[in-house]
Amino acid sequence: MIVVMQSKATEPDVDGVVRRIKDLGLKPHISRGEFRTIIGAIGDESLLRPEFFAGLAGVESVMPIMKPYKLASRDFHAEDTVLKIGPYQVGGPNLAVMAGPCSIETEEQLRQSARAVREAGGVFLRGGAFKPRTSPYSFQGLGEDGLKMLQAVGAEVGLPTVTEIVDVRDLDRVVRYADVLQVGARNMQNFRLLAEIGRLDKPVLLKRNPAATIEELLMSAEYVCSEGNQRVMLCERGVRGFDKETRYMLDLAAVPVLQGLTHLPVVVDPSHATGRRDLVAPMALAAVAAGAQAILVEVHPHPEKAMSDGPQQLRPEAFREMMAELATIAAAVGRKLQTPVALEPRP
């Protein structure tokens, strides 16, 4: 950590910083320039917070040198993490497509979606049972009934399931019925929920909050990892932008940026990012070209009747077309789409 002193900082100010560094068990290193004195703190920066210095007299700014996360950092874990979930992988050489309806509405609707997903080559079934909705008057999901349908239909089509957890009190139920826990964008900094999930042995799909920096996303992953659960996938799903044409602004550069900083797999959700059906396929293709390790999209047999997010859900035939294109793009970057294994009852 580097502490830059104000131009008018006094010797006692410098001493104050030096003393604080020593108190913390690190070694100070003073460098006096023409205009500024700069003090480095040498040693294990993970013991430090900028706020230990920012409040001291004469301090102009504090610059961390090390990343504030450790378990999520590629510095400490150079190899890509590969999550094994059922017969599939996320983070390995081959791409995983996760798809299904935004909300589980009926068993029949879920079944139709699931079959469309499997037939087109998707390898995870997503579906929301607990829905975080902006309006209290909107459909809030089927709850546990939805979870049961998800489990049943997932088993039927032989695909691992992904569903969102919105309340820490639902954790037992969601863990019982689903294979992957999704932490939605709005709960990315629900730190208690993250900590609880960190104590489970269950893969997590952690979505970036629309206001979160990439570093904040990694810090949230660190919450999960630091409790023991390293099975974390990070999902870019659009940040808050100023353009009215799309719902959020998809930050695709986050894909290679994240892959440089972390060993955890990176997933892209073009459906929520854009909010527009016609943009889902181009953005999914772009995400794969940029290196995403999995894609999460919404598929609904009748989007015009969907109880949530109708405008962004793909019809089965559009999903099928997109999958064909994705396979071509994946090949172009030297990868393959994983495909569903032959159906047999899951244990």
CB of 267 within 8 A of CB of 250? no
- Angle, CA 112 vertex, CA 338 and CA 147 arms, to 5°: 85
Of 109-117, 121-129, 146-154, 189-197: span binding a copy of itself (CB under 8 A): 189-197
CB of 84 to a copy of itself, least distance (A): 25
Which is it for strands 83-85 and 232-236: parallel, antiparallel or unpaired? unpaired
User: x-or-dash pattern for a copy of itself, window 285-324, by CB under 8 A?
Assistant: xxxxxxx-----------xxxx-xxxx-x-----------
CB of 212 to a copy of itself, least distance (A): 8
Q: Is 345 in the site for a copy of itself (CB under 8 A)?
A: no
105, 156, 236, 251: residue in contact with a copy of itself (rule CB under 8 A): 251
CB of 17 to a copy of itself, least distance (A): 11
Distance separating alpha carbons of residues 309 and 207, to the nearest angstrom:
17
Q: Which of residues 111-170 bind a copy of itself (CB under 8 A)?
A: 132-138, 140, 166-169
Radius of gyration of the chain (CA): 23
Q: Is 341 in the site for a copy of itself (CB under 8 A)?
A: no
Q: Is 79 in the site for a copy of itself (CB under 8 A)?
A: no
Q: Is 29 in the site for a copy of itself (CB under 8 A)?
A: yes
CA distances (Å), 336 to each of 116, 121, 325, in order?
A: 20, 11, 12
Q: Is 92 in the site for a copy of itself (CB under 8 A)?
A: no
CB of 100 to a copy of itself, least distance (A): 17
Q: Is 260 in the site for a copy of itself (CB under 8 A)?
A: yes
Q: Is 273 in the site for a copy of itself (CB under 8 A)?
A: yes
Q: Is 12 in the site for a copy of itself (CB under 8 A)?
A: no
User: x-or-dash pattern for a copy of itself, window 40-69, by CB under 8 A?
Assistant: x-xxxxx--x-xx-xxxx-----x-xx-xx
CA distances (Å), 45 to each of 29, 39, 51, 69, in order?
A: 14, 14, 13, 11
Q: How many CB atoms lie within 10 A of CB 168?
A: 14
DSSP line for 85-139: ETTEEESSSSBEEEEE-SB---HHHHHHHHHHHHHHT--EEE-BSS---SSTTS-
C-beta closer to a copy of itself: residue 159 or 219: 219
| Bridge partners of residue 128, in order along the sequence | 103
Q: Which of residues 193-212 bind a copy of itself (CB under 8 A)?
A: 193, 195, 209-211
39's torsion region: left (phi>0), alpha (psi -120 to 50) or beta? beta
CB of 203 to a copy of itself, least distance (A): 19
